[in-house]
A = this chain, B = another copy of it.
């Protein structure tokens, strides 16, 4: 492949993307392949000879597309939507060419400073105080892990040097999440050497919100037992049902106990830009750290997770190390000092492109349109005796359950219904458990979503319900 035909090849790639966009809504959201089927279509050995882009794009259509789960399909409503817009797609194109690595300020002054700027734009967009600064990492798991390491260093001073094991007098190091929280906090505690047994699962109320009194008691109990509480993670918009923990009260508990408060707003964070949703974010400005993922509800291409924090020194403390070959005059402004990864790709570019090309106003309007779609779905469910809501729907996820015909077990009915709906191909929904019961999740919130697709999803649920009921 000759670099000299770049313009021609770029045009071929762009036309391929356009054609994919035109076709995607007609493809099944979930591909109809069996495990191993795609691998079997590819040769065992890497090609020795060069090939043309035209032939490769033909293979994209023959081998890859039939095996894609179409995250940008209007019927993708399974996990939190990760969708993309032109702004992000074009920015990634340019970022690959520029191939910046903003580990040091000097290895990418523009990468470093644009990252600081767009993170500050995010902070202003979601109206957090100036005391917060931050950086961009890959995923919420990494962001929460990075926050946990700072919290661990604060709770166990010197752990950076001596580690956790064989330390006289140091008991178990504990972390607190609601019983509805995302597994990423558990994984972070495992990775940090704190152990799964030390992750305290705090009970929730009927609205699936962490109960602050229970948190308070757990902290007191653990302190008395000689444990070292390291971090509390409150969630605004849990992955399972978008439940909202009472952050303001939790912040009070954390402050009394001197424990680091991390807020997981990975999915729901952008909604803080809407005045009518501000009350759900009450108290998050008191957090030590907050994670918010533009690659979820801001429609930025994956991966892009923003970690915000109040104390940059505390964030640098657990890991910063500068080998000789990376010493530079600008030590102190280097993003590599926070987090584990040394290499840092130019993720800031896509946020800049989005803000500049779309504008904050349109970004807020898009969030509102998703919330309106979710409200509509919820209303349809409420007014149809075959279905019932099982949790509040403050954002763009609706969690519900199909009421089974008489004599049929509910979980089995809902599982069967979900499978039937997904098998049709034009929509992809997912499930979770609420109070031990199997329930269905419909997540709108895609930049490629449409009112029409939402109506079709609802229609599919009704039709499959009736079809199954008849067949039963």
Contacts and interface: CB of A to CB of B under 8 A. Distances in A.
Nearest to A34: B109
A172 B49 CA distance: 51
A110 B165 contact: no
Contact of A56 (B121, B189, B357): B357
A193 B230 CA distance: 13
A67 B193 contact: no
Given A93-B93, A165-B194, A193-B194, A46 B325 contact: no
A322 B187 CA distance: 10
A321 B183 contact: yes
A285 B392 CA distance: 54
A206 interface: no
A252 interface: no
Contacts of A16: 94
B360 A48 contact: yes
Contact of A109 (B67, B72, B78): B67
Contacts of A91: 96
Sorted nearest first, the 6 A-B pairs with minimum C-beta distance are A163-B195, A193-B193, A67-B110, A10-B14, A92-B96, A46-B121
A358 B72 CA distance: 29
Interface stretch (A295-303, A380-388, A461-469): A295-303
Contact of A68 (B30, B82, B111, B189): B111
Interface stretch (A112-120, A275-283, A370-378, A400-408): A112-120
A189 B164 CA distance: 11
Interface stretch (A210-218, A253-261, A339-347, A450-458): A339-347
B340 A188 contact: yes
B13 A163 contact: no
Given A162-B197, A433-B324, A46 B191 contact: no
A89 B100 contact: no
Contacts of A116: 39
A472 interface: no
Given A47-B360, A170-B166, A343-B302, A67 B430 contact: no
A232 to B, nearest CB: 17
Which of A35, A69, A318, A322 has most B Cβ within 10 Å?
A69
A301 to B, nearest CB: 4
